[in-house]
Amino acid sequence: MTLPNEYLPAVGSPDTAAPESYAFAFLNGRLLVHIEDKAARLPNLADLDALHLDATVQLTTVRRQHLGSFHGRDLVSLELHADAEAPEGMLLENLRALFFRLDEELFWLAARAVQIVAWDRDHQICGRCGTPTEDHPKERSKQCPECGLTHYPRLSPAVIVLVERGDQILLARSPYLPAEMFSTLAGFVEPGETLEQTVAREIEEEVSIRVKNVRYFGSQPWPFPNSLMIGFRADYAGGEIVIDEDEIESADWFTVDTLPKIPPRISIARALIDSWIGEQS
């Protein structure tokens, strides 16, 4: 996973952004891109502003945010009007579907942008007292001028776990995965839990397996819609697989020679499985 190293976050007014700024324009989580053969390319602000002036194209912006800069170019995110349509040569595409088509660093910046756009949209009004909120001038937050409540972008941390038993790993199928695909188990952190407790609870709940030696692997933003995936490896400590049928269709132990279809390279699940495959010989 190539996260953008040259990204400098910033907050501030999007109104002063230069015409060549990268423009992350979203409509309900779908990103507006130029399509060139199979590749996708981000528009810049000048492209979009030209389209805004074209009365034949329905492409107005509801809100904009300044996200910082990347290789010296400003980044602006935009929420498109609900009636917006992609003009000729452009496409409004589900962000996840763009992983293999957009430059990877820009994809991960889009993953930030989609969450900021959603947060901005969802926190126009204070959730406690109903007063319109105001942008904080120096940090990514909105404040309520009436009751003082601060609204930060919401992140939902989740653990994702590769469980090992000898030369086998535990993989499971949820009904949301593509046909025949198996993946590592995952679940959201509950208030008051340590990550290690979440790992133990989720594995026990979903497949009735106990684990030990829980160790950190790495993390990944997962903007569908606002997770932070925190990856672990763990060792089998006991129990037989009994699946929670509300969450899982099937689960089993696999060796490197019997692996089923596994998730694509975008996901930390795949990174976990690949790291284990690399250790088998």
Which residues here bind Zn ion, judged by CB under 5 A? 126, 128-129, 131, 144, 146-147, 149
Tell me how far, at minimum, the Cβ of 138 lies from Zn ion, in Å.
20
Neighbours of 81 (CB within 10 A): 12
Task: Name the residue nearer to Zn ion (CB basis): 152 or 188.
Answer: 152
CB-based contact 218:231 (threshold 8 Å) = yes
> Residue 23 or 126: which CB sits closer to Zn ion?
126
Give the C-alpha separation, 279 to 53, whole Å: 57
Q: CB under 8 Å to 84, separation ≥6 — which residues?
A: 27, 32, 58, 59, 60, 92
CB nearer to Zn ion: pick between 47 and 120:
120
CB 136 within 8 A of CB 142: yes
Instruction: State which residue, 149 or 248, has the beta carbon closest to Zn ion.
Output: 149
- Cβ pair 111, 281 in contact under 8 A: no
User: Least CB distance from residue 270 to Zn ion, whole Å?
Assistant: 42
Question: First and final CA of the chain: distance in angstroms?
Answer: 24
The residue (of 91 and 149) whose beta carbon lies closer to Zn ion is 149
Q: Which residues neighbour 244 within 8 Å (Cβ) at sequence distance 6 or greater?
A: 205, 206, 207
Least Å distance, CB 121 to Zn ion, is 18
- Report how many helices (DSSP H) and strands (DSSP E) the chain contains, helices first: 4, 16
Q: How far is the CB of 134 from Zn ion (least distance, A)?
A: 11
User: At closest approach, how far in Å is the CB of 44 from Zn ion?
Assistant: 37
